[in-house]
Chains A and B, each alone.
Chain A
Amino acid sequence: MDAPAIETAGLIKTFGDNRAVDGVDLTVPPGTVYGLLGPNGAGKTTVVRMLATLLRPDGGAARVFGHDVVREADAVRSRVSLTGQYASVDEDLTGAENLVLLARLLGHSKAQARARADQLLAAFGLTEAADRQVKKYSGGMRRRIDIGASILNTPDLLFLDEPTTGLDPRSRNQVWDIVRIVVANGTTVLLTTQYLDEADQLAARIAVIDHGKVIAEGTPGQLKSSIGAGTIHVRLRDAARRPEAERILAEVLGTTVQQDADPVALSARAEAGGSEQGAAELASRALGRLASAGIVVDDFSLGQPSLDEVFLALTDREVAA
Chain B
Amino acid sequence: MTTTTTEAVSAYTPSSETLGAVLARADRPKRPSALSASLTFGWRAMLKIKHVPEQLFDVTAFPIIMTLMFTYLFGGALAGSTSEYLQFFLPGIMVTSVVMITMYTGVGLNTDIEKGVFDRFRTLPVWRPAALVGMIFGDVLRYILAATTIMAVGLILGFRPEGGVLGVIGGMGLLVVFSFAFSWIWTMFGLFLRSEKSVMGVSMLVLFPLTFLSNVFVDPSTMPGWLQAFVNVNPVSHLVSAIRSIMSGSPDMSEITWTLIASAALVAVFGTLTMRLYNRK
Contact = CB atoms under 8 A, between A and B. Distances in A.
A129 B9 contact: yes
A104 B68 CA distance: 43
**Which of B18, B26, B117, B126: most chain A CB closer than 10 A?**
B117
A88 B117 contact: yes
Given A56-B280, A107-B29, A81 B23 contact: no
A233 B32 CA distance: 63
Given A77-B124, A181-B14, A138 B21 contact: no
Given A105-B37, A133-B51, A177 B116 contact: no
Interface string B30-53: 111000110011011001100110
A92 B28 CA distance: 28
A154 B24 contact: yes
**Which of A49, A184, A185: most chain B CB closer than 10 A?**
A185
Contacts of A151: 22-23
Contacts of B14: 124, 174, 177-178, 181
B12 interface: yes
Contacts of A119: 21-22
Contacts of A97: 47
A161 to B, nearest CB: 9
Q: Chain B interface: which size bin?
A: 35 or more
Interface in A107-123: 107-109, 112, 119-120, 122-123
Given A80-B123, A123-B18, A154-B24, A104 B47 contact: no
Nearest to B19: A181
A82 B23 contact: no
Contacts of B119: 49, 52, 54, 82, 84, 88
B225 interface: no
B125 to A, nearest CB: 4
A32 to B, nearest CB: 16
Contact of A184 (B16, B18, B41): B16
A79 B117 CA distance: 18
Contacts of B15: 123
A187 B221 CA distance: 71
Contacts of B122: 53-54
Nearest to A126: B9
Interface in A130-145: 133, 138, 140-141, 144
A276 B120 CA distance: 49
B204 to A, nearest CB: 27
A175 B10 CA distance: 12
**Which of B4, B19, B20, B48: most chain A CB closer than 10 A?**
B19
B123 A77 contact: yes
Contacts of A187: 23
Contacts of B40: 101, 104-105
Contact of B31 (A84, A101, A107): A107
Contacts of A178: 14, 19
Contacts of B222: none
Contacts of A171: 10
Contacts of B26: 154
A174 B13 contact: yes
Nearest to B48: A92
B249 to A, nearest CB: 42
**Which of A89, A127, A151, A153: most chain B CB closer than 10 A?**
A153
A260 B280 CA distance: 57
A71 interface: no
A185 B23 contact: yes
A290 interface: no
A21 interface: no
A97 B41 CA distance: 12
A86 B114 CA distance: 10
**Which of A87, A106, A112, A140: most chain B CB closer than 10 A?**
A106
A241 to B, nearest CB: 50
A125 interface: yes
Interface string A170-193: 110010011001101111000000
A37 interface: no
Interface in A196-228: none
A154 B123 contact: no
A316 interface: no
Contact of B44 (A54, A93, A124, A174): A93
B125 A125 contact: no
A74 interface: yes
A49 to B, nearest CB: 8
Interface string A148-161: 01010110000000
Given A93-B47, A104-B32, A108-B29, A182 B23 contact: yes
A238 to B, nearest CB: 49
**Which of B6, B13, B51, B125: most chain A CB closer than 10 A?**
B125
16 contacts: A54-B123, A80-B123, A82-B123, A90-B44, A91-B117, A92-B48, A92-B51, A101-B44, A104-B43, A105-B40, A105-B130, A141-B9, A154-B22, A174-B14, A177-B14, A185-B20
Given A105-B40, A106-B29, A129-B9, 16 more contacts: A49-B119, A84-B119, A88-B117, A102-B124, A105-B37, A106-B28, A106-B125, A119-B22, A124-B12, A128-B8, A144-B12, A154-B26, A171-B10, A181-B19, A181-B20, A186-B23
The 7 A-B pairs of least Cβ separation, nearest first, read A125-B12, A107-B29, A86-B116, A88-B120, A185-B23, A77-B125, A177-B14
